[in-house]
Amino acid sequence: MDDPFRMDLEADPPFERLGGAPEDSGQLRSAFGCFPTGVVAVSAMSEGNPICMVASSFVGVSISPPLVAFCVQWESQTWARLKDLPRLGISVLGAEHDQSVRRLASRAEDKFHELGLCVREEGSVFVDGATAWLDCSTQDVMPAGDHGIVLLRIHELTLRPEAEPLVFHGSAFRQLGVSTPDQSASPPQP
Ligand SMILES: Cc1cc2nc3c(=O)[nH]c(=O)nc-3n(C[C@H](O)[C@H](O)[C@H](O)COP(=O)(O)O)c2cc1C
C-alpha cells in the first residue's frame, strides 16, 4: 500500500512565508476570505442617533453563560463610540440585506437608509429583516494584534431562523445554495 502521507517539499501553489511585511496583508485578507461567514450589524443609540458597524468576524462562544464575540479593528471610529455603551444590538443579517450591508459598513451619514429599526429602552438597536437579534453588553475586550476580541454577554434574544441568511465569502455577499443530504446535522451535545 502506498504511503498515505505525502512528503512533497512543494505544494502547488507553493507555501508562502509570512514575515509580517505590509505586502502580506493582501494574501492574509484573501486567506480569511476563503472562510465563508455570516455578517452581523452591531448597533446602538449614541447621543440620540443610531450608529452601527458591520462584522463578519462574529462567532458564538459559550452557551452557559451565553457569550458571543467579534473582532474589531482598533482604528474603528464606530467602535470608539460603541465601546462604552451599556447595550449593543447584534442583528444577524439576512439575504434581504445584500443591497444595504455595504452602506451599513460605510461612514455614510444615513447608514440605515430605508431600513426599519427597533430601538430598545437601554439603547440597543436592531435592523429589521435579520435572522436573529441579540441584546448584549460588552463583557471584555482582549487585545489581538491590530484587532481586539470583543466578548459580549447576551441578555435577551429573538430569532427568525426561517429567514435566509446572508453569507460573506471571497469579498462577495452570497446566499446559501443546496443543502447537504443530512440536513439535521447539529453540533455534538455535551
Ligand atoms: C462584510 C464586512 C465585514 C466586516 N467585518 C468587520 C469586522 O469583523 N471587524 C471590524 O472591525 N470591521 C469590519 N468591517 C468594517 C466595519 O464594518 C466598518 O466598515 C468600519 O467600522 C467603518 O469604519 P469606522 O468604524 O472607522 O467608521 C467589515 C466590513 C464589511 C463590509
pLDDT tens for each residue of 139-183: 999 999 999 999 999 999 999 999 999 999 999 999 998 777 765
What percentage of the chain exceeds 90 in pLDDT? Answer: 77
Nearest CA to ligand 1 atom 11: 72
Kind plus residue range of the DSSP H or E element containing 82: helix 77-82
C-beta 76 within 6 A of ligand 1: yes
pLDDT at 20: 74
Q: Global pTM?
A: 0.92
Tell me, using a 6 A CB cutoff, whether residue 43 lines ligand 1: no
Domain residues of the chain, as ranges? 36-167
- The per-residue pLDDT for 126 is 98
Query: Is ligand 1 within 6 A of the CB of residue 152?
Result: no
Position 147: which residue type? Answer: H
CB atoms within 10 A of CB 11: 9
Residue whose entry in the numeric block shows the C-alpha cell 443610531: 50
Q: What is the DSSP string of 63-80?
A: TTTTEEEEEEETT-HHHH
Residue 163, exposed/middle/buried by CB under 10 A (0-12, 13-18, 19+)? middle
Residue 167, SS3?
Answer: strand
- Percent over 70 (pLDDT), the chain: 92
Residue 63: other Cβ atoms inside 10 A = 9
For all residues of the chain together, what is the average pLDDT? Answer: 92
Q: How far from each other are the two terminal CA atoms of the chain, in whole angstroms?
A: 38
Specify the higher pLDDT residue, 180 or 40: 40
* Ligand 1 atom with the shortest distance to the CA of 53: 17
Whole-number Å distance, alpha carbon 85 to ligand 1 midpoint, is: 18
147 Cα: distance to centroid of ligand 1 (angstroms) = 11
Domain 36-167, CATH class in plain words: mainly beta
